[in-house]
């Protein structure tokens, strides 16, 4: 039943229910945050920093002209142990050299200030771009305080930045195709999250052109700053190492956190999992050519990636916020509210119940099915689509 025209008391009840769900969903992540703070106070700085350790180390080594260390796994592990002490989980530098242009901007800071300032600025960029695209403050706050946003913060990861670049870019393609395309082009710092984007971008020639220009410019800048040896080392060392994580599950510190289609079917064997993931990724790329909304595209990007962690689902959280905002205006289909809740709360529960990660592809497929069947949010291409909700701070 549509919620348009519902009495104020009913809307107040809905708002309180949504707030209660948001608080309940955040509890597992808040408990994890407490554990991280406790570990940092006990002197376990390296473990508490988690993936933020790599961000700081990459920026520090890039600033001190020691980029080669990043692409030498034993030397890199030795450097980390020298700074943070032994008995740390295995760390592998897993990014292309263009990511170092960003990390180097924070490498002059101590580890904790570097990671926290990066996370904070990334979140501010996400908020700014969502507001620039006309989203309500209620939606923006929902995304910024979602369980997966907390997971990203506690992991010291870059999902807020990637959601700003990909999600913000998709939402701006209609009104600001140059900016939207450029943002998506900059997302090549983490290319596995953009496999489904090219055919969608082709529908907007301006957006595609600016995306290609931004990606090429970023790559050339890193080539000029770090030299061809960095890209050669990435291709011959880092790329095979990350492929080995998928195929062999080693090191476990990397492989056990994967929640992609590949990870879910990995027990069938590495080659069988590769085939299944390739089929899913190809289907996502082809579906993206007919994409009708940013929400659909964000879900396709997650499904298409073989290398996906819980914090990478922040883009899906943005898609869920867009979908819920739309459904509050025109009604939920049977089962949609439960599906949206499970997909929203799931990332916060995965660190405590890792087996839930293997259910993530199923949830993503169900989300894709419901968005393709009912979703009529603004389109990914340059043609105007009907706007069902006003872009005001009052929300729906």
Of 119, 118, 43, 58, the closest CA to residue 88 belongs to 43
Which of these ranges, 191-195, 260-264, 294-298, 387-391, has the smallest mean pLDDT? 387-391
Q: What is the average pLDDT across 11-29?
A: 66
Neighbours of 63 (CB within 10 A): 16
Confidence tier at 4 by pLDDT (50, 70, 90) = very low
The two three-digit tokens of residue 7, written as one number: 């009495």
Would you state the pLDDT for residue 217? 97
CA 226 → CA 37, 41, 229, 246, distances in Å?
35, 36, 8, 28
Answer whether residue 17 shows pLDDT above 90: no
Q: What is the average pLDDT across 199-211?
A: 89
Per-residue burial over 164-193, b if 16 or more Cβ lie within 10 Å, else e, is bbbbbbbbbbbebbbbbbbbbbbbbbbebb
Cβ partners under 8 Å of residue 213, min gap 6: 182, 185
- Residues 58-71: tens digit of each pLDDT: 999 999 999 999 99
CA distance linking residue 246 with residue 395, whole number of Å: 42
- For the entire predicted model, the pTM comes to 0.87
Would you state the pLDDT for residue 44? 65
Mean pLDDT of the chain: 85
CA 74 to chain CA centroid, Å, is 28
Residue scoring higher pLDDT (57 or 254):
57
Would you state the pLDDT for residue 289? 86
Would you state the pLDDT for residue 247? 81
Would you state the pLDDT for residue 170? 95
Would you state the pLDDT for residue 218? 96
Answer whether residue 33 shows pLDDT above 70: no
Neighbours of 266 (CB within 10 A): 21
Confidence tier at 88 by pLDDT (50, 70, 90) = confident
Q: What is the average pLDDT across 353-359?
A: 87
Answer whether residue 136 shows pLDDT above 50: yes
SS3 sequence, the chain? Answer: CCCCCCCHHHHHHHHHHHHHHHHHHHHHHHHHHHHHHHHHHCCCHHHHHCCHHHHHHHHHHHHCCCHHHHCCHHHHHHHHHHHHCCCCCCCCCCCCCHHHHHHCCCCCCCHHHHHHHHHHHHHHHHHHHHHHCCCCHHHHHHHHCCHHHHHHHHHCCCHHHHHHHHHHHHHHCCCCHHHHHHHHHHHHHCHHHHCCCHHHHCCCHHHHHHHHHHHHHHHHHHHHHHCHHHHHHHHHHHHHHHHHHHHHCCCHHHHCCCCCHHHHHHHHCHHHHHHHHHHHHHHHHHHHCCCCCHHHHHHHHHHHCCCCCHHHHHHHHHHHHHHHHHHHHHCCCCCHHHHHHHHHHHHHHCCCCHHHHHHHHHHHHHHHHHHHHHCCCCCCCCCCCCCCCCCCCCCC
Of 152, 153, 163, the closest CA to residue 186 belongs to 163
Would you state the pLDDT for residue 241? 87
Answer whether residue 10 shows pLDDT above 70: no
**Per-domain boundaries in the chain:** 8-36+124-374
Neighbours of 215 (CB within 10 A): 21
Highest mean pLDDT out of 172-186, 241-255, 344-358: 172-186
Would you state the pLDDT for residue 383? 44
Would you state the pLDDT for residue 395? 35
Q: What is the average pLDDT across 220-229?
A: 96
> What percentage of the chain reaches a pLDDT higher than 90?
57
Would you state the pLDDT for residue 290? 83
Which of these ranges, 169-183, 237-251, 356-370, has the smallest mean pLDDT? 237-251
Q: What is the average pLDDT across 278-304?
A: 92
Q: What is the average pLDDT across 276-294?
A: 91
Residue scoring higher pLDDT (253 or 282):
282
Q: What is the average pLDDT across 326-343?
A: 89
- Residues 293-320: tens digit of each pLDDT: 899 999 999 999 999 999 999 999 999 9
Confidence tier at 385 by pLDDT (50, 70, 90) = very low
Answer whether residue 6 shows pLDDT above 60: no
Of 394, 163, 185, 389, the closest CA to residue 295 belongs to 163
């Amino acid at each position: 039943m549509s919620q348009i025209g519902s009495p104020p008391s009913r809307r107040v009840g809905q708002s309180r229910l949504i707030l209660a769900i948001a608080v309940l969903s955040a509890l597992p992540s808040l408990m994890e945050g407490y554990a991280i703070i406790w570990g940092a106070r006990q002197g376990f700085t390296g473990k508490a920093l988690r993936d933020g350790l790599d961000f700081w180390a990459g920026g520090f080594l890039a600033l001190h002209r020691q980029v080669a260390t990043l692409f030498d796994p034993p030397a890199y592990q030795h450097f980390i142990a020298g700074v943070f002490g032994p008995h740390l989980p295995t760390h592998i530098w897993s990014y292309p050299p263009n990511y170092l242009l960003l990390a180097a901007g924070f490498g002059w800071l101590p580890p904790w200030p570097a990671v926290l300032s990066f996370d904070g600025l990334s979140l501010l960029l996400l908020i700014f771009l969502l507001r620039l695209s006309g989203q309500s403050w209620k939606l923006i706050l929902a995304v910024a305080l979602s369980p997966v946003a907390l997971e990203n913060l506690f992991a010291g990861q870059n999902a807020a930045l990637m959601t700003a670049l990909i999600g913000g870019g998709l939402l701006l393609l209609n009104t600001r195709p140059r900016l939207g395309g450029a943002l998506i082009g900059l997302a090549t710092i983490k290319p596995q999250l953009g496999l489904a984007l090219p055919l969608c971008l082709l529908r907007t020639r301006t957006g595609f052109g600016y995306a290609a220009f931004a990606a090429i410019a970023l790559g050339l800048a890193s080539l000029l700053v770090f030299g061809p040896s960095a890209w050669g080392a990435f291709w011959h060392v880092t790329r095979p190492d990350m492929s080995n994580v998928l195929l062999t599950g080693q090191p476990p510190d990397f492989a056990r956190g994967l929640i992609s289609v590949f990870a879910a079917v990995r027990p069938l064997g590495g080659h069988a999992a590769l085939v299944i993931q390739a089929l899913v990724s190809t289907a996502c790329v082809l579906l993206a050519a007919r994409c009708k909304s940013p929400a659909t595209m964000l879900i396709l990007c997650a499904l298409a990636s073989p290398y996906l962690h819980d914090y990478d689902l922040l883009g899906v959280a943005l898609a869920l916020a867009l979908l819920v905002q739309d459904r509050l205006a025109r009604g939920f289909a049977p089962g949609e509210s439960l599906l949206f809740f499970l997909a929203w709360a799931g990332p916060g529960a995965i660190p405590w119940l890792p087996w839930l990660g293997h259910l993530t592809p199923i949830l993503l497929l169900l989300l894709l099915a419901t968005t393709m069947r009912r979703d009529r949010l603004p389109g990914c291409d340059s043609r105007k689509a009907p706007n069902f909700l006003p872009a005001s701070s009052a929300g729906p």
